[in-house]
Chains A and B, each alone.
Chain A
């Protein structure tokens, strides 16, 4: 099971209905929430992907379960104008070498995003759960915070810093520009 905030049943519907319904459903989501679209129309995968791109939502991925396609889309406005504030940063390229010695990579994207591709060995704590799960982190360890574009990880890094985690870095530009392999295996 991949976690989603809202589920939409579009099973048995032919094109264009899966997209028409998805569009409507997305209106009721708040920024950052994830919609699961259940569809049986084979063409829905490429169309949803292309539609999401055209309107700026994040298409996360699709899984097939019992002949039903499960599409995951995250509502986003793709606002790149946000100015990152946390000063301790590190690049995608550097972080792999660093973490080989010590520290952890903390992935603050939603669970569904993590499920469709993450850095092997990284730890998943979605941004919204961070506050409640601080005890899973070690104050003495380097924490390399990553998300898709560097925005959520910027917030997360600030929060961690305020909570007394000093060895915190924001990884830029983030998973969205990751050149290495991404793992889909879940523990």
Chain B
């Protein structure tokens, strides 16, 4: 029967729409356990392609007949080989175009909500990596927060919406993914902002984000206001958009909190992290909708695919906001940290402008989950 190409965009739709999909992941076992395509209604079978070189007879009976079967590998070559064998055996089968590399890069823009005077707020969900970027739009102008490195996705989106990108912010110096902020600013003439305390080693020009800095976007003059919120890094800054949304960067997530160790200073920053979560955020209105820069699990997605939750709900439900004693808090955020993200030290160097890897090298560095949180 036939072998059909499925794009990362089509897989993303299935994730967001809660559709079923059967994934035959033919990467080696360690790679699969470390990181895979997550979907609410996805089923999985992991058999490395090199165990299928002599044929797929043993696998056929394990593939469902009544749902789509997608073969996935790292780059696509092995998935095509396996898919061809399955098709030869008389079955219809899909393979993922570009493999996990393209899954890691795909961004799905989803509208989070309307702002005053016809403004809009979009969340760009990078499902494969768990990264979230934002674009604030009001007639004529846009601001971007925590852009990932696929800059054309943002510039094209702005074109489509007929807005000029005026301000580009990074909430902190990222360690899990390469920022697209500086390049977007260079390409569009926008101002690029970084928290100064995270930027001491950067080798390019930027505008420092001061606490309470406010810029106004477009015809409706939508407020984008900085709130100094250290802890994940010493410079970490949150943004409040239009008095309604709290962009929490890597400080507060839906089901976890930021980890303080990726710049090597867990012990020093744990106090800042607690202060930010327990004092600075407590002073804000509970009606704010929290929009983090990452998610870790597919369960954190809302039914429309966005990652967003009321601050008041997080105070009630998020474990990291409900740790009474300082010792227990210190213990959790310094002693039980998950493994660090792939190549995180190199990624920090890239974001400081100190090294400039090519596209393939950047892809390689970003492989795997983001791992910016502790639970």
17 A/B residue pairs, CB under 8 Å, sorted by A: A14-B75, A15-B74, A15-B75, A16-B53, A16-B73, A17-B77, A19-B50, A20-B81, A23-B50, A47-B48, A47-B50, A50-B28, A50-B29, A50-B48, A51-B48, A54-B48, A54-B50
Known: A42-B364, A46-B28, A47-B28. A14 touches B77 (CB 8 A): yes
**Selected contact of A19 from candidates B30, B53, B75, CB within 8 Å:** B53
**Nearest chain B CB to A35's CB is how many angstroms away?**
15
Asked if A43 CB lies within 8 Å of chain B CBs, one says yes
Chain B residue with minimal CB distance to A51? Answer: B50
**Nearest chain A CB to B296's CB is how many angstroms away?**
24
Asked if B49 CB lies within 8 Å of chain A CBs, one says yes
Closest 7 CB pairs of A and B: A51-B50, A16-B78, A50-B28, A19-B50, A15-B77, A14-B77, A16-B49
Contact at B74–A43, with CB atoms within 8 Å? yes
**Selected contact of A15 from candidates B51, B53, B78, B364, CB within 8 Å:** B78
On chain B, the number of residues with a Cβ less than 8 Å from chain A's Cβ atoms is 16
Main secondary structure of the interface of B (DSSP, over half): helix
How many angstroms from the CA of A20 to the CA of B75 in the assembled complex?
A: 16
Q: Which of B13-54 contact A (CB under 8 A)?
A: 28-31, 48-51, 53
Contacts of A14 in B (CB 8 A): 75, 77
Contact at A46–B30, with CB atoms within 8 Å? yes
Contacts of B30 in A (CB 8 A): 46, 50
Contacts of A47 in B (CB 8 A): 28, 48, 50
Q: Which of A69-110 contact B (CB under 8 A)?
A: none
Contact at A16–B28, with CB atoms within 8 Å? no
Q: Which of B34-91 contact A (CB under 8 A)?
A: 48-51, 53, 73-75, 77-78, 81
Chain A residue with minimal CB distance to B53? Answer: A23
Contacts of A20 in B (CB 8 A): 53, 81
